Structure 1
Amino acid sequence: MTTGTEQLRRRHTALVVRTLRRLGPTSRAELAVATGLSKPTIGVIVAGLEADGTVGLDPTGDGRTGEDRVPVRGRPGRPVALRPGRHLGLGLDLNVDYVTAVVLDLAGEVVLSESRPVATDRVEALLATTRELRDRYGADRFVGVTAAVPALVHGDDRTVAWAPNLTLSGPELADALAGVLPDSDVRVVNDANCAAYAEVHHGVARGVDHALYVTGTVGIGVGIVAGGVLVQGATGFAGEAGHVAVGDPTALCGCGRRGCWEASVGLHAVLRSLGMEELGTPTATGEAVAARAAHDAAAQEVLARVGRDLGLGLATLTSVLDPEVVVLGGYFVPLGDLVLDHARAALDARLDPPTRRRPELRLSTLGLGAAALGAAEQALAGVLLG
């Protein structure tokens, strides 16, 4: 059982780690000013972090410019810095068509990012990737592993409640990952939530307090950030907008119902309308669709309809959540203004009152690794948040 003193120590240690991540190489005196902790407390925490190899003396002597410094009296001592690659978080993205893995260190540097197309045995492909990375880097370096999945996941961050596009249920994925990395903190989280987390830490929503992330794959999901915090709702199901009744009421969805948003704006809906085959990844497929639309008026009209239905759904979300920025990922990225121009027009037409500010629509720059990158960030949460 964790005592109050132990909890306080963990919170203080996490605060020091986050401060080093934010400021880079920093002296003990500067850490005391930046964190509000006493110099003796900082000394004890840094000594412990040095002992386990988390931090070390900055080999350059001082990696920051004068304007980045925290003001202190006197001459600050030699800075300490997080050691690159010492502790790692593993983020995994299990999707219908591909598996992505991202390895992130405590300093926020991406050590590895790779995606692999899959057609069958998706869970086994994810576990095989995990075993490969465990053997490559060593199990003891991974402090956590988080799998992003296109599914409803309970608030325990382990139990899949509903995955209409995957054969997945209960805690089976979390249990399987724990079997590969038994000493790591294991989580399973909705993929849109993970991607939203990545966008506010690494992507085009960095520094934005109120943002939405919309996935653009076979399924459509939404990650919600309010006040800089990921919103998961009472049971962990917040953001499951892909199955809201917006769009063509006759369109059959993968969940078995008609009229779901993703049945109008999801990747498979677009391919059916165009009579095109899916390629290895949503990005590659989106690029092929954009290339066809460059000279095909019928394809342009399909994308115009997708943009209008996308904007209609975003208008509903905006009316409820009032985001500053909406980030679009997946296959929406290569389509760009072929879809966004129509989505913006639909947003303008539907927002009430008309004077209401339309959220800025931005295209993700994180590629297929967005959800896995956010998952890797969450895998480090035990160390960064205490």
Structure 2
Amino acid sequence: MSTTGQLRRANTAAVLQSLRRLGPASRAGLAQRTGLAKATVGAIVADLEAAGAVVESTLEDVPAAPAAPSRGRPSKPLSLRPGSHVGLGLELNVDYVSAVVVDLAGTVLTSESRPAGADRVAVLLALAAEVRAAHPGALLGTTVAVPALVRDDDRTVAWAPNLPLRGDALVAEVAAALACPTDDVRVVNDANCAAYAEAHHGAARGVDHALYLTGTVGIGAGIVVGGQLVQGGAGFAGEVGHMPVGDPTAPCGCGRRGCWEASIGLLAVLDALGMAELDTPLTTAAAVAARAADDPAARATLERVGEDLGLGLAILTGVLDPAVVVLGGYFVPLGDLVLGPARRVLDARLASDVQVRPELRLGTLDLRAAALGAAEHSLARVLTGAADLPVPLPG
């Protein structure tokens, strides 16, 4: 792509971001917001109108701002057309699948989860096809969040300790279900996707340095700095569930013993309590919390889980120094049953008084956080100027 093409895409992204973050504006207003020349904004808006991405707002849609008298026809405010261009986010997990559709304005058009059943991939593909049919806007991309190490090509599953996934077959299956090119489908680690969602829509919004911890069968982390993911040299950053923390004898799904998730993951809690898993981690955790309200032994189990959680967070805090740690998934219904002991251990294990304990927050986006982050990931190439906004085909 030529330098001219790169500049055009960057300028288009600046206009789209302005409309997304700050709402409707006239062409002159967009020029003022973005610092672009009025002629440049006019050309970009013409392209966006041709692509069906923007629409002139009526006076009823947007209150008119006082303006100095000027010659010619007044410029009407422009806004992003709802649902015209969308990103699809999917999550394939051990016991559930999710799908989220988000448009360019950041509006969540669909958010749905289902129990995974025996054939997880088939359930996911059926859900993907259904939500795509319900939202026929121009599809900017599809991202699948998986609890796995994914290579930095965003398609190849290198290691999935809790799922029978390997290689890039999932990309082809999703592309076939959606009748789209395989190049339009990406696969990304679920913790990274959930962290991205919490940074842009949830508990880590506005935080420069945040760590997100998943809470499902496995434990993973997403690291966010300045609103962007830190993925490491091979794309594997955040694989914290297999740190040797907690009970050194506890068997892990990876085949080893003593992994962190073998002590603080959902299955570890259920095994300790002798409870069965329900349809989703959230409903299961709610049942655990209800039992702990009347059962001292259950509270003691969660106290131990919280202590092991705090021990691992102390290590991560020493390495990453996050301002905020967001705990998602099954940790949310448990709340202070695990946060209290985690905070105490974290305080006790920080190496120096000058270290600041990160604020521990519960996630706000429930189990669909990873799918929401995946949907945002699908929009990111256009919103950052890395790709052109497609013009829909006629009809």
User: TM-score, normalised to structure 2's length?
Assistant: 0.93
Provide the residue aligned with 1:94 in structure 2. 92
Q: Which runs of 5+ in 1 are unaligned?
A: none
Identity within the alignment, %: 66
Q: Which amino acid aligns with 2:204?
A: A
Q: Which amino acid aligns with 2:165?
A: L
Provide the residue aligned with 1:141 in structure 2. 138
**1:100-143 Cα distance to aligned partner (Å, 9 max, x none):** 110111100010001000231111111111122232223x6211
Q: Which amino acid aligns with 1:134?
A: R
Work out whether residues 88 and 143 of structure 2, in 8 Å CA contact, stay in contact via their aligned partners in 1.
yes
**1:309-359 Cα distance to aligned partner (Å, 9 max, x none):** 000001100111000100001110000000000000010001120232110
- Once the two structures are superposed, the pairs formed by residues 228-267 of structure 1 within 5 Å of their partners are 228-267=227-266
Shift of 1:3: 2.2
1:309 aligns with 2:319: no
Deviates more, 1:233-242 or 1:32-41: 32-41
Secondary structure class of the residue paired with 2:90 = strand
Deviates more, 1:6-15 or 1:215-224: 6-15
Shift of 1:62: 6.1
Shift of 1:73: 7.3
Q: Which amino acid aligns with 1:121?
A: D
Alpha carbons of 1:74 and 1:306: their partners in 2 closer, same or farther (altered >3 Å)?
farther
* Partner of residue 169 from structure 1, selected from 163, 166, 171: 166
Provide the residue aligned with 1:115 in structure 2. 113
Provide the residue aligned with 2:222 in structure 1. 223
Distance (Å, rounded) in 1 between the aligned partners of 2:147 and 2:374: 13
Secondary structure class of the residue paired with 2:212 = strand
Deviates more, 1:275-284 or 1:141-150: 141-150
Alpha carbons of 1:64 and 1:374: their partners in 2 closer, same or farther (altered >3 Å)?
farther
Q: Which amino acid aligns with 2:90?
A: L
Work out whether residues 25 and 64 of structure 1, in 8 Å CA contact, stay in contact via their aligned partners in 2.
no
* Partner of residue 75 from structure 2, selected from 69, 77, 90: 77
Q: Which amino acid aligns with 1:144?
A: G
Distance (Å, rounded) in 2 between the aligned partners of 1:123 and 1:74: 60
Q: Which amino acid aligns with 1:98?
A: Y
Secondary structure class of the residue paired with 2:185 = strand
Provide the residue aligned with 2:156 in structure 1. 159
Work out whether residues 145 and 188 of structure 2, in 8 Å CA contact, stay in contact via their aligned partners in 1.
yes
> Once superposed, what is the RMSD of the aligned Cα atoms?
1.6
- Once the two structures are superposed, the pairs formed by residues 182-201 of structure 1 within 5 Å of their partners are 182-183=180-181, 185-201=184-200
Provide the residue aligned with 1:36 in structure 2. 35
Secondary structure class of the residue paired with 1:263 = helix
Alpha carbons of 1:65 and 1:154: their partners in 2 closer, same or farther (altered >3 Å)?
farther
Work out whether residues 99 and 131 of structure 2, in 8 Å CA contact, stay in contact via their aligned partners in 1.
no
Provide the residue aligned with 2:323 in structure 1. 324
Work out whether residues 326 and 361 of structure 1, in 8 Å CA contact, stay in contact via their aligned partners in 2.
yes
Shift of 1:35: 1.2
Distance (Å, rounded) in 2 between the aligned partners of 1:149 and 1:130: 15
Q: Which amino acid aligns with 1:129?
A: L
* Count of aligned positions: 380
Work out whether residues 61 and 78 of structure 1, in 8 Å CA contact, stay in contact via their aligned partners in 2.
no
Provide the residue aligned with 2:391 in structure 1. none
Work out whether residues 62 and 78 of structure 1, in 8 Å CA contact, stay in contact via their aligned partners in 2.
no
* Partner of residue 129 from structure 2, selected from 120, 128, 131: 131
Q: Which amino acid aligns with 1:165?
A: N
Secondary structure class of the residue paired with 1:380 = helix
- Once the two structures are superposed, the pairs formed by residues 279-298 of structure 1 within 5 Å of their partners are 279-298=278-297
Distance (Å, rounded) in 2 between the aligned partners of 1:367 and 1:108: 17
Distance (Å, rounded) in 1 between the aligned partners of 2:37 and 2:25: 15
Shift of 1:246: 0.7
User: TM-score, normalised to structure 1's length?
Assistant: 0.95
Secondary structure class of the residue paired with 1:375 = helix
Distance (Å, rounded) in 1 between the aligned partners of 2:308 and 2:93: 23
Deviates more, 1:259-268 or 1:56-65: 56-65
Shift of 1:180: 2.7
Distance (Å, rounded) in 1 between the aligned partners of 2:284 and 2:132: 31
Shift of 1:6: 1.6
**1:28-85 Cα distance to aligned partner (Å, 9 max, x none):** 111112111111010000011011110010124563697xx9xx97677321000011
Alpha carbons of 1:38 and 1:211: their partners in 2 closer, same or farther (altered >3 Å)?
same
Alpha carbons of 1:284 and 1:45: their partners in 2 closer, same or farther (altered >3 Å)?
same
Distance (Å, rounded) in 2 between the aligned partners of 1:283 and 1:73: 55
Distance (Å, rounded) in 2 between the aligned partners of 1:306 and 1:361: 15
